[in-house]
Structure 1
Amino acid sequence: MTKSVLPSVDPMTLTPRERVDLWLAKFESALSDRDLDRVAAMFAVDSFWRDLVAFTWNITTVEGRDGITAMLGAQLGDTDPSNFRTSEVLEGEPSEEAEGITSALIEFETATGRGKGHLRLRGDQAWTLLTTMEELKGHEERRGTHRVNGAEERAIEEREFGDSRQPFVLVIGGGQGGITLGARLRQLRVPALVVDKHERPGDQWRNRYKSLCAHDPVWFDHFPYLPFPENWPVLSPKDKLGDWLEMYTKVMEVPYWSSTTCRSAKFDEESEEWTVVLDRAGEEVVLRPKHVVLATGMVGKPHIPAFPGRDVFRGEQHHSSEHEGPDAYSGKRVVVIGSTNSAHDICQAMHQSGVDVTMVQRSPTTVLRAETLRDLIADMYSEDALAAGMTTEKADLISAALPYKIMPEFQIPIYAEVAERDKDLYDRLEKVGFKLDFGDDGSGVPMKYARRGGGYYIDVGASDLVADGSIRLASGEVERLTEDAVVLADGTELPADLVVYATGYGSMNGWAADLMGQEVADKVGKCWGLGSDTPHDPGPWEGELRNMWKPTQQEALWFQGGGLAQARQYSLYLALQLKARYEGIPTPVYGLPEVHHLS
């Protein structure tokens, strides 16, 4: 094979744009020549390549030159990448510029698709590379020049599924994750059906406690295709968000069966299809999709600790997921066990309704003021960011470009500044005995979210109520319940007429166990977490969220979860993987992880 030769140039004499262009040209040349040693030499020793479907048909991060060489050795021939080009050089932070770091957004093509990405150069070597698939050639989304003339297909599919037609994909769970995935699959012309137990789309939000609102700002939470309007509140109230989900389902023509529960699902390896038994408003329906997606949120079934005495407690007790609000508890004594988002929201609403409420904190909690969070992401998700040309799509690419392995070193100094900025609040909380932390390593909310999916509170007003004693605070483990009280390990008795367990949820594979059997759940293993070997996230290191939006050890079973932002961003990559399989496009998966933990 004749190898490509590019002229030698001192990269440090070039402009940032020229440096990126030169690196991409050399990179493409080495890939074209299938010269893996030359490719590896273009990356720093401590480099990372994060790929979202484009090269690996997976969501995976390879680390170091050996990891990059191994991945390309397996995938390069099928991927056949080309046409790498710079779309925009990004203005770096002063600290990055001082270290010789240049960042840019890029575009490229593969044999089957078109992609976008992000490149971070340190000198003339790549430190981090992100590659993402954006569309499949010949199977573009039906928008822009590919839009349809006007025929509505949703009603036909809803009527015929289970009778004369079968969905290729069945999505179980019709919250934001299921609905956004359904919208993506609709645009890609993949026959798909979303089913949910609630009466209407959006009831997943409407039926929660009255004070609930989204804790992320509106700019972070936009939906694909239809962003929130410009007059939408910064923090979305739950009922308003529920109405948006219902409207979105109709406007985006998502085939959706409400009042439908899944009784069982079994995969046949010979026919390579599922047999799924549904209860649709009291009628049994059997579907035979090729793929099943569990879109039941980022968590599994509600977790209620087996405290001694729960069976003798005479008052009311329920999990926070079943809590409807404070109206029925005027004059009652309420104990909320837990100290993260739901616990604070419920306590705040109880206090505002004049209810005597006590929060029980069992472990340290990260508290981050909503205003501070807004400032932390303002460069990418805010009105000012939009005015500066930072679109949601661009912000999503930049946020996805930072590998999880090095994310803590970026977050630790940020949260050190947060500790100083909001020192008055933290001092007042600690004075009343509230236990604070910023995670095991001080990396704050983003890493707690990725590692364990919780352990923090985005403060929308309750922290001041805790600090001034309006919300009573008790600390320690729960030893038992009596007929009329919660007793802590130190002997403290908290009289109670209602106990709310804001104690979190299990792993998403718990739903798989219920529907498909424990064998399938164990085959898939624990969902969420990185393998960081921190509390609630046991090692070994995996580098990406377990089982999310990518192939699992159970053929044709997928998980779609996360918050509103992740529903927007990662629904695309899951939809493209399913579309490729629907069209019969080869999808050789690289890096399917081993299962290390069952739940």
Structure 2
Amino acid sequence: MAPSAADWNDEPIRPPNADSQIGWAGVPLSETLGYYGVIKRPSLPTNEKLGFTPDYASVDVNKLATEFLASYGKAIESQNVDAIAGHIAEDGYWKDVELLTWDIRTLAGHDNIKPMLAERLAKTGIKNVRVSPYIPSSLERLGDDLSFVLIHFEFDFAHGTGIGAGRLSPLAAKTGSASELAEASSWKLYSVGTAIETVDGWDAENGDKMRYQKAKVQDPLGRARTYRQLREDEREGRDGFQPTVVIIGAGHTGLTMAARFKVLGIPHLVIEKEDTAGYSWGSRYASLSLHGPTFTNHLPCLPYPNWFPVFLPAQQLSKFLQLYAEMMDLNVWTKTTLDGKSAVYDDATNQWTLSVTRGDGTKHILRPKHLMIATGISGTLPNIPEVPGMTEFQQNGGIITHSSRHKTDASWKGKKCIVVGAATSAHDISYELVENGCDVTMIQRSATHVMSVDKSVRTLFKPRERTNRRDGLAPDLADQSHYLKQPFPVEYELLNRGQTIARQLDADLLESLRNVGYRLHDGYHGGGAYSMFLFDQGGFYWDTGCCSLIASGKIALTHSEIDHFTKDGVVYKDGTTQKADIVVFATGYMNSKSAIQALLGDEMARKCNERWEKGNAFFVGPEGESVINYCPLPQKGLYSMFHQFAFSRFHSGRLALRIKAEELGIDVTPYGNKPLGPSSTAAGRVPR
């Protein structure tokens, strides 16, 4: 039987030192997203709020989209701010990605939208708003009480072209009758998103064939070098090559960003401290696979083959990333490190001076205009608790590892293993250990959100399953719809609707876990993993088989914590003891939220608003967008980026176009007055 709504609450995922009734900013939890306390929860235009049940079945969505956009476009082209606002709900949202604002901003309500339009419309010069010929309008049903008409559009602006998406609701109707809904004036945008698509003829997916894509590869220096020689000289930085952009990290985020620069004709260099691109994926435990479907994780320009498995093994991904770097002609220096302490930005020349050391010991001075930190979501310093007795345990033959470098050994068959943690890595490693004949105990210190991959994940991702297939949208088109139709606060408010479906699909699984004492929660406000991801970055598991082993008792479960090690095991804080040969800490990372601090130091971290604070892993600000991720920072020429594949794919294109615009001499000064939220007393500090 599926648990009732009363069975789920936020209590298990609240920090132990936090008041149980209010968020950290003193805002009731019922009124704020996650646990940050500064992002107001939106009010959705449900039938109850509208005051009627609209006759959506009567709506001709194509006719509505054409008529609404004609009126909306006319208001935009005339730069009539009041007329534009008249097309938007009073409490509606406008999300912009690097076009009107040259930033990533979400403006909520007319009081915030109108000043932005008043300042930026004249500079932007938007005109020729038109229905997208590539993405059809549709009726989007999100429950019996909530539907939108989803529209997609294109437009021209002063320096190129843009794209947009919006959710229409009949907020100006009185009864919701067919005759009312047939009138475009009955509808308003509940949310609208705009983004840059091309700049001066360049786009981040195809480049510019007229000025960049040559019919035949020729040596620009007239030295008759072959393609292979040209590539080697460029990659090795010969003939005075200086990259315009230096990217730190050759994981999927860094390579995606580099691919955009390659397409846009911007000289780039990726620095990777390990010996291959994609190392962070290939170096992890052998059974690791992506829990996000492959069809959402395509890379720019070179999508995965359609025959790839739905959940891609990390080792296969690592191999693909290495080949991707080669096929896209990306300039990657492996076994190379940056001396962050000596990194200096010169405001007079708009250049960084960077000192890097390659694997052969040679030092190089680079002077790029832009420095990008793409060292990953999780960071690189494993968080291994300092527990008394660890040395004695290891001296007696015991093994202590961390999930970041864990490798199951065939000789461990029959060994007693303890896995500390109960999120994704802990479950994956526990499953792998059982497969290799180990006796496994999982320590679940706090409750975990669980959702099945085969049932729930595939059901909730079903609308995007045809991405890059004959009857589906190309990845870049799917991204336009996904990332522009709603800002994060709206997405957050809709999450519990998907989780309600997931709980029904997973009822038997969840009940089997409860029966063995497994502690479950369902995310903030019942929103599941995505309600937690941007704030906590963990605490959930999308089940790929481990849960059945826990439910059947093949993996034992304990809820205490290790007080100290003995020579042959552990003593828990409740006084019980357990023999152990191997202890795996699946306890995350120490610097997962401070990439700038780790590379460039405390002062730069503070300047860029980067801070370590529990409950806001992605530095989400009051607007519901990250104040760090993929957006311009207070330090000119510096960017930080970290996120999942689809997010990186979409936002890398917008950020690369922003930099291309700057290289073309276009003023890309961001729209000001960006709210950053409360300051953190932990700015630039790495906690234990």
Give the direction of change, closer, same or farther, for the CA distance of 1:538–1:181 in structure 2 (3 Å limit): closer
Give the direction of change, closer, same or farther, for the CA distance of 1:540–1:143 in structure 2 (3 Å limit): closer
* Pairing of 1:135-174 with structure 2 (within 5 A): 135-141=198-204, 142-143=206-207, 145-146=209-210, 147-151=213-217, 152=227, 154-160=231-237, 164-174=240-250
Q: Give the secondary structure class of the aligned counterpart of 1:92.
A: strand
> Identity of paired residues, percent?
32
C-alpha contact 1:480 1:486 (8 A) present in aligned 2: yes
Q: Distance in 1 between matches of 2:572 and 2:599?
A: 37
Aligned to 1:565: 646
C-alpha contact 2:142 2:497 (8 A) present in aligned 1: no
Q: Partner amino acid for 2:155?
A: F
Aligned to 2:122: 77
- Between 402-411 and 306-315, the greater mean CA deviation after superposition: 306-315
Q: Partner amino acid for 2:351?
A: E
Residue 459 (structure 2) pairs with residue 380 (structure 1): no
* Pairing of 1:422-501 with structure 2 (within 5 A): 422-501=506-585
Residue 320 (structure 2) pairs with residue 244 (structure 1): yes
Post-superposition shift, 1:24? 2.1
Aligned to 1:594: 676
Post-superposition shift, 1:225? 0.7
- Between 263-272 and 419-428, the greater mean CA deviation after superposition: 263-272
Q: CA RMSD in A?
A: 2.7
Residue 378 (structure 2) pairs with residue 299 (structure 1): yes
* Pairing of 1:498-537 with structure 2 (within 5 A): 498-508=582-592, 510-526=594-610
Residue 406 (structure 2) pairs with residue 329 (structure 1): no
Aligned to 1:185: 261
Q: Distance in 2 between matches of 1:345 and 1:396?
A: 29
Give unmatched runs, 5+ long, in structure 1.
1-11
C-alpha contact 2:418 2:443 (8 A) present in aligned 1: yes
Q: Partner amino acid for 1:345?
A: D
TM-score normalized by structure 1? 0.91
Q: Give the secondary structure class of the aligned counterpart of 2:139.
A: coil
Post-superposition shift, 1:406? 1.9
Aligned to 2:486: 402
Post-superposition shift, 1:389? 3.3
Q: Distance in 2 between matches of 1:538 and 1:263?
A: 25
Post-superposition shift, 1:199? 1.3
Residue 307 (structure 2) pairs with residue 231 (structure 1): yes
Deviation string, structure 1 residues 72-119 (Cα, Å, up to 9, x no partner): 122212111111111144322346797673211111121112111211
C-alpha contact 1:99 1:122 (8 A) present in aligned 2: no
Q: Partner amino acid for 1:562?
A: H
Q: Distance in 2 between matches of 1:128 and 1:367?
A: 30
Residue 188 (structure 2) pairs with residue 125 (structure 1): yes
- Between 123-132 and 15-24, the greater mean CA deviation after superposition: 15-24
Q: Give the secondary structure class of the aligned counterpart of 2:339.
A: strand
Post-superposition shift, 1:322? 1.3
Q: Distance in 1 between matches of 2:504 and 2:147?
A: 29
TM-score normalized by structure 2? 0.79
Post-superposition shift, 1:543? 0.8
Give the direction of change, closer, same or farther, for the CA distance of 1:160–1:367 in structure 2 (3 Å limit): same
Q: Give the secondary structure class of the aligned counterpart of 1:120.
A: strand
Aligned to 1:550: 631
Post-superposition shift, 1:65? 0.9
Give unmatched runs, 5+ long, in structure 2.
1-55, 171-186, 218-226
Deviation string, structure 1 residues 394-423 (Cα, Å, up to 9, x no partner): 321222122211223321122122112111
C-alpha contact 1:169 1:192 (8 A) present in aligned 2: yes
Post-superposition shift, 1:15? 3.5
C-alpha contact 2:91 2:109 (8 A) present in aligned 1: yes
Q: Partner amino acid for 1:222?
A: H
Q: Distance in 1 between matches of 2:82 and 2:166?
A: 19
**Equivalenced residues, count:** 584
Q: Distance in 1 between matches of 2:259 and 2:118?
A: 35
Q: Give the secondary structure class of the aligned counterpart of 1:210.
A: coil
Q: Distance in 1 between matches of 2:285 and 2:231?
A: 32
Pick the aligned partner of 2:197 from 111, 115, 134.
Answer: 134
Residue 462 (structure 2) pairs with residue 415 (structure 1): no
Give the direction of change, closer, same or farther, for the CA distance of 1:94–1:399 in structure 2 (3 Å limit): closer
Deviation string, structure 1 residues 380-401 (Cα, Å, up to 9, x no partner): 2347x94543332332122212
Aligned to 2:433: 350
Aligned to 1:261: 337
Aligned to 2:46: none
Q: Partner amino acid for 1:410?
A: L
Q: Give the secondary structure class of the aligned counterpart of 1:208.
A: coil
Q: Distance in 2 between matches of 1:536 and 1:207?
A: 24
- Between 327-336 and 273-282, the greater mean CA deviation after superposition: 327-336
Q: Distance in 2 between matches of 1:549 and 1:510?
A: 15
Residue 138 (structure 2) pairs with residue 91 (structure 1): yes
Q: Distance in 2 between matches of 1:540 and 1:226?
A: 33
Deviation string, structure 1 residues 4-53 (Cα, Å, up to 9, x no partner): xxxxxxxx998322322233222232223332122222210120111111
Post-superposition shift, 1:145? 4.5
Post-superposition shift, 1:230? 2.2
C-alpha contact 2:591 2:598 (8 A) present in aligned 1: no
